[in-house]
Structure 1
């Protein structure tokens, strides 16, 4: 996951965090990926469905 993030452009990384974050630490990755408990930390996913009725993940919010 960290390698995929580092492959993003600098502009995309800055937009994601509203700051220049070059690398994600293990703590950051854990918080962003594994800390969803449905009470204090929730995640919402947006899935677009086309005419073919196939869902395409579009966005996530935490």
Structure 2
């Protein structure tokens, strides 16, 4: 079982994923850098949660 993502995290993640789907990779480290470029996320923890969620979405696409 995992943690449940808040609606803020889901909304930001889906917006980023919809706009930049082709640019995200399958690795967390690369996605963390991309999230930092594409969005102004105030905290490191939120950025990492969003990057992890994006990574999961990319892996589910394949």
Report if TM-score (shorter chain) is over 0.5.
Answer: no
Looking at secondary structure, tell me which structure has more helix per residue: 2
Q: Tell which structure's C-alpha radius of gyration is larger.
A: 1
* TM-score of the two chains, using structure 2 as the length reference: 0.28
Higher relative CO (Cα under 8 Å, sequence separation at least 6) belongs to 2
* TM-score of the two chains, using structure 1 as the length reference: 0.28
